[in-house]
């Protein structure tokens, strides 16, 4: 029987304490409901007290009911992996025992394939030193937990926040994923910068160095010959340091002798926005990124193959090496380098 259009779908994940996993999923646009419960064991209609013995075979889990037209199963997998310690085979953080072991319970072949592929990609990412211990298992009967466990992160918010902090989960997530926040398990399905929204100024000041902030937000020009990329020759692409949107390619970079990174053209025609900028009687063309609206530099008419030289501040850029394009979600640009071995 074929699934009806717009019919909700179900995913089941065990990620240790179900309070934390319910919060992780229920806040996502496209998720209709996340239900805390028990699954994977052999005891019918288990209670919290029974499952807590670790002798029922059940694990604490969440049943995620979602609208596939608004959020994909791949995205749910990404959220799952980024809210657990996938290398722990004995539980999660302060919670030890069979009932807290992690698993993805698949309901069909498509979910199994995607789950296995996501685990493989995470293992190859180099983010974790230890092997991935999370199991991928066929779904079994799911039993909703007692009412007081449902929406616990909202009903008992203060206790929940303390638990998440002192259990070690919150610190682990921040330590691992703030450093690897651009990592995507399925980058070819997600150009995250297209939906990027500029954070508050106070947040930008935390995310950027003082020089990066001054250049991208205030239009300051960095010093020539004393910046990161003016004489950089590695193959790859340059992206906006704020949003990650792709801007320029090393294939179009050349040494202009000016002391700043120079390019003959943007990576895509739409990648940058040019605006007239005047100071006194002098006028030039300022270059800004399209989505983050970051100040990048200026463009000049010069005898290059395109008739233009894009003179860009290094502080407005982040470099993605050719071999890292797939990992960080820029798979579409691998073709540029396949055509230019």
CATH number of the domain at 302, please. Answer: 2.170.150.20
The parent domain of residue 131 ranges over: 9-190
171 to each of 93, 161, 217, how far by Cα in Å? 10, 12, 30
* Confidence (pLDDT) at 280: 45
Together in a domain, 169 and 250: no
Q: Is 311 a catalytic residue?
A: no
pLDDT in tens, 153-175: 999 999 999 999 999 999 999 99
Question: Residue 2 falls within a domain, yes or no?
Answer: no
Return the residue matching tokens 């939906």: 195
Q: With left for phi above 0 and alpha for psi between -120 and 50, is residue 227 left, alpha or beta?
A: beta
In this structure, what CATH number is given to the domain that contains residue 90? 3.30.1060.10
The pLDDT > 70 percentage for the chain reads 91
Does residue 6 surpass a pLDDT of 90? no
pLDDT category at 248 given cuts 50, 70, 90 is very high
* Confidence (pLDDT) at 188: 54
Together in a domain, 237 and 328: yes
Interhelix angle for 73-81 vs 109-124, to 10°? 40
Residue of 157, 115, 127 whose CA lies nearest to 11: 115
* Confidence (pLDDT) at 281: 44
Query: Where a domain ends, among 141, 158, 190?
Result: 190
Together in a domain, 126 and 238: no
Beta-carbon contacts of residue 315 (< 8 Å; ≥ 6 apart)? 209, 211, 212, 214, 215, 216, 222, 227, 228, 241
Query: Where a domain ends, among 140, 173, 190?
Result: 190
Catalytic residue among 17, 20, 278, 283: 17
Question: Residue 1 falls within a domain, yes or no?
Answer: no
Q: Are strands 308-312 and 317-321 parallel, antiparallel or unpaired?
A: unpaired
pLDDT category at 282 given cuts 50, 70, 90 is very low
pTM of the predicted model over 0.75: no
pLDDT category at 271 given cuts 50, 70, 90 is confident
Question: Residue 173 falls within a domain, yes or no?
Answer: yes
Together in a domain, 132 and 223: no
Question: Residue 130 falls within a domain, yes or no?
Answer: yes
How many separate domains does the chain show?
A: 2
The pLDDT > 90 percentage for the chain reads 71
- Record the tokens describing residue 140, joined without a space: 């079994």
pLDDT in tens, 89-146: 999 999 999 999 999 999 999 999 999 989 988 988 889 999 999 999 999 999 999 9
pLDDT in tens, 296-340: 999 999 999 999 999 999 999 999 999 888 777 787 788 788 755
pLDDT category at 1 given cuts 50, 70, 90 is very low
């Amino acid at each position: 029987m074929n699934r009806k259009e717009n019919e909700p779908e179900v995913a089941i994940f065990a990620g240790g304490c179900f309070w934390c996993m319910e919060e992780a999923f229920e806040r996502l646009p496209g998720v209709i409901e996340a239900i805390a419960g028990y699954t994977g064991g052999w005891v019918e209609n288990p209670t919290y007290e029974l499952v807590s013995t670790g002798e029922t075979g059940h694990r604490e889990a969440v049943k995620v009911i979602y609208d596939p037209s608004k959020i994909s199963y791949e995205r749910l997998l990404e959220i799952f992996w980024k809210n657990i310690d996938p290398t722990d085979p004995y539980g999660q953080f302060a919670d030890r025992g069979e009932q807290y072991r992690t698993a993805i319970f698949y309901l069909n072949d498509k979910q199994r394939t995607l789950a296995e592929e996501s685990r493989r990609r995470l293992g190859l990412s180099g983010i974790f030193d230890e092997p991935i211990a999370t199991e991928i298992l066929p779904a079994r009967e799911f039993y909703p937990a007692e009412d007081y466990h449902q929406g616990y992160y909202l009903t008992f918010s203060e206790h929940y926040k303390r638990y998440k902090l002192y259990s070690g989960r919150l610190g682990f997530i921040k330590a691992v994923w703030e450093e690897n926040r651009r990592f995507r398990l399925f980058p070819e399905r997600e150009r995250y910068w297209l939906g990027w929204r500029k954070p508050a100024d106070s947040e930008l000041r935390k995310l950027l160095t003082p020089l990066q902030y001054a250049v991208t937000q205030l239009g300051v020009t960095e010093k020539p010959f004393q910046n990161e990329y003016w004489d950089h020759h590695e193959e790859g692409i340059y992206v906006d340091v704020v949003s990650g949107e792709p801007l320029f390619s090393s294939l179009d970079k050349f040494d202009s002798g000016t002391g700043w990174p120079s390019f003959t053209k943007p990576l895509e025609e739409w990648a940058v926005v040019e605006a007239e900028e005047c100071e006194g009687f002098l006028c030039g063309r300022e270059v800004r990124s399209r989505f983050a609206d970051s100040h990048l530099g200026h463009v000049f008419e010069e005898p290059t193959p395109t008739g233009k030289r894009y003179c860009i501040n290094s502080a407005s850029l982040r470099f993605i090496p050719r071999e890292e394009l797939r990992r960080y979600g820029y798979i579409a640009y691998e073709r540029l380098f396949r055509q230019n071995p």
